[in-house]
Amino acid sequence: MNRYPFLLILLICLPYHLLSSEPPATEVRAVWLTTNYGLDWPHNRSSCEKQQQELIGILDSLKKHHFNTVLFQTRARGEVLYRSSIEPMASLVVSDGSGSASFDPLAFAIEECHKRGLECHAWIVTYPLGSDRHVRTLGNASVTRRDPTLVKKFKGEWFLDPGNPRTDDYLLSLVKEIVTRYDVDGIHFDYIRYPDNRGRFPDDGMYRLHGKGKSRADWRRDNITRFVTKTYDWIKQEKPWVQVSSAPLGRYRALGSNGQGWTAMETVYQDAGRWMKAGKHDALYPMMYYKDHLFYPFVDDWLENGNQRIVVPGLGVYQMIELGWSKQDILNQVDYTRDKQVQGQAYFRAGNLLTNTKGILSSIQTYYRYPAKLPPMSWLSDSIPPAPSDLRAERKADGLFELSWNPAEGNNRVTYNLYRTDSENFDKDKAAHLLATGVRDPFYRMHVPDDDQAFYYFVTMSDSYHNESEPSIPAYFYHSRTIK
């Protein structure tokens, strides 16, 4: 007879992932934060302060739930959310009364992300420019007016023409503005593809001029790869630690009967596997907004074509609303990515996740119950930084517990990871030991209870490529205020 019936019932009722191995200590946990139409942000249109507080609330929630990467939509359709000399600021940003934006959203997002240990990647909508109505609202500032030779109209929408080599230069000028002026952690391309196959994109003239005997499909794929290559090479010369990534369609190529329909390679000429294999991308966040046989084999295919770089499947939490998916559909996909040791998960979009659609955020908490570090980009640099020194642990006069250590010398672009254990046995790869990741300052403050517990604390340093040092010499701290 079972002597512990209630324990048995509890174990049976626990979700599978809580009974399996603990979460990985290294994992990308990303959201797409959509600014187009103010879908995720900004909702408020009345004041700069309210828009800032609204964004702070989103980032606080992401930190609380142990996310580590924000894909911040920085360029939508021909308009931007930073101070640009090339394209107009999005009208969603509150004006200061003179017609100028009252603050710089990208600068603010980066600063607030970094305060919370989050990376901020500038998400760029690449080729689409919007409808006639939209481009009219941009007036003479629209590229459709300033340089009409770069654009084509297709099915009622305007697009930059990937077949025109000068389009590369235009887009690269936007990338250069962002990378040189802002401390972004990544450049993330969306819609880096031709329009879908509803009709024939009007590129006959450019094809005759530049096709050079290639099939039109190969020429189109080469056009996008040409831009990817130029951009990657320039970024790596300017700031080599800036991660270059994109969000291709969720299905890379046709895989037998599962692959019929919309694919990146065949339908929209997005040869993202080639970019990874050629070393012109650091990461892919494929938009895998499908399920069952349209999801699982395609995860495997992305991994096969990932060149040991970062592959982070994008999970369509919005499909719980649009297609009536269950919460379990998403959780099954998280389980699969964990089982396959994929480098993480990304969620489209932030609002659908943080409003706890069908309880998804509550369930995700059990997967993300500890913080996570970001995977190292060892193909860019594999140098291991030195361990931090002189770790100190003390309770301050205001009652907060503070860990502090000597800052890195000569490098202000490092982060720190904090660990806590109940013994000197320490494992950087054990998620349960992690206390905080992505810390930018050489100190960390938090509340600890006034009790009889005592812990060993460790700190490591990560460079801009996420290479992590060995741990510091530990600091031992007894939580009780009473000296025994």
Q: In this structure, are 330 and 413 located in the same domain?
A: no
pLDDT reported for residue 260: 61
Percent over 70 (pLDDT), the chain: 93
Please count the other Cβ atoms lying within 10 Å of the Cβ belonging to residue 398. Answer: 7
Report the side by side order of strands in the sheet with 401-404.
392-395, 401-404, 443-446
* Domain boundary pick from 333, 367, 401: 367
Q: What are phi and psi of 283, to 5 degrees?
A: -155, 155
Quick one: 250 and 187 in the same domain?
Answer: yes
Question: Does residue 336 sit in the same domain as residue 461?
Answer: no
pLDDT score at 148: 97
Same domain membership, residue 443 and residue 361: no
Question: Looking at the domain assignment, is residue 385 inside a domain?
Answer: no
Residue 484 lies in a domain: no
Q: Are residues 250 and 339 in the same domain?
A: yes
In a domain, 16, yes or no: no
Residue 295 pLDDT greater than 70, yes or no: yes
| Predicted local confidence at residue 480, as pLDDT | 73
Q: How far apart are CA 164 and CA 12, in angstroms?
A: 60
**DSSP labels for 169-202?**
HHHHHHHHHHHHHS--SEEEEES-S---TTS--S
Which pLDDT tens digit goes with each residue over 448-479?
888 888 999 999 999 999 999 999 999 999 88
Largest pairwise CA distance in the chain: 85
Residue 454, both tokens: 């005592």
Range from 9-18, 201-210, 242-251, 271-280 carrying the lowest mean pLDDT: 9-18
Residue 20 pLDDT > 60: no
Looking up residue 164, the CATH number of its domain turns out to be: 3.20.20.80
Looking at the structure, do residues 193 and 245 belong to the same domain, yes or no? yes
Looking at the domain assignment, is residue 7 inside a domain? no
- For residue 322, report the phi and psi dihedrals to the nearest 5 degrees: -75, -35
337 and 440 together in one domain: no
Looking up tokens 């590369």 gives: 168
Check residue 21 and give its pLDDT. Answer: 64
Give yes or no for a contact between 419 and 471, defined as CB atoms under 8 angstroms apart. Answer: yes
- The CA R_g of the chain, rounded to the nearest whole Å, is 24
Which residues are 18's β-sheet partners?
Answer: none
Q: In this predicted model, what pLDDT tens digit does every residue of 152-178 receive, in sequence order? A: 999 999 999 999 999 999 999 999 999
Q: Does the residue 360 lie in any domain? A: yes
Q: Among the three residues 318, 333, 367, which one is the final residue of a domain in this structure?
A: 367
Residue the block writes with tokens 């100028």: 100
Q: Which pLDDT value is given to residue 18?
A: 46
Q: Residues 354, 400: one domain?
A: no
CA 402 to CA 447: how far, in whole Å? 9
Q: Which of 367, 384, 415 is the last residue of a domain?
A: 367
pTM comes to: 0.94
Query: Is position 341 within any domain?
Result: yes
Alpha-carbon distance of 430 to 335, in angstroms, equals: 19
What pLDDT does 482 receive?
Answer: 61
Same-domain pairing of 446 and 326: no
| Domain-embedded: residue 204 | yes
Least confident range of 172-176, 196-200, 232-236, 252-256: 196-200
Residues 190 and 246: beta-carbon distance below 8 Å: yes
Query: How do 443-446 and 283-284 pair as beta strands?
Result: unpaired
Query: What pLDDT, in 10s, does the model give residues 414-458?
Result: 999 999 999 988 899 999 999 999 999 999 999 988 888 899 999
Residue 7 has pLDDT above 60, yes or no: no
Are 102 and 42 in the same domain? yes
Q: What are phi and psi of 145, to 5 degrees?
A: -90, -40
pLDDT at 43 over 70: yes
pLDDT of the residue at 451: 84
Structural domains counted in the chain: 2
For all residues of the chain together, what is the average pLDDT? 93
Domain that holds residue 324: 23-367
In a domain, 384, yes or no: no
Euclidean distance between the first and the last CA atom of the chain, given in angstroms as a whole number = 46
- Please tell me the least confidently modeled range out of 13-17, 379-383, 409-413: 13-17
Residues 38, 110 within the same domain? yes
The CATH number of the domain where 415 resides is what? 2.60.40.10
Q: For 355, what's the count of Cα atoms within 13 Å in the CB-facing half-sphere?
A: 12
C-alpha pair distances (Å), 349 with each of 19, 65, 249, 321? 28, 15, 16, 12
Q: Are residues 424 and 290 in the same domain?
A: no
For the cut 70, the answer to whether the pLDDT of residue 10 exceeds it is no
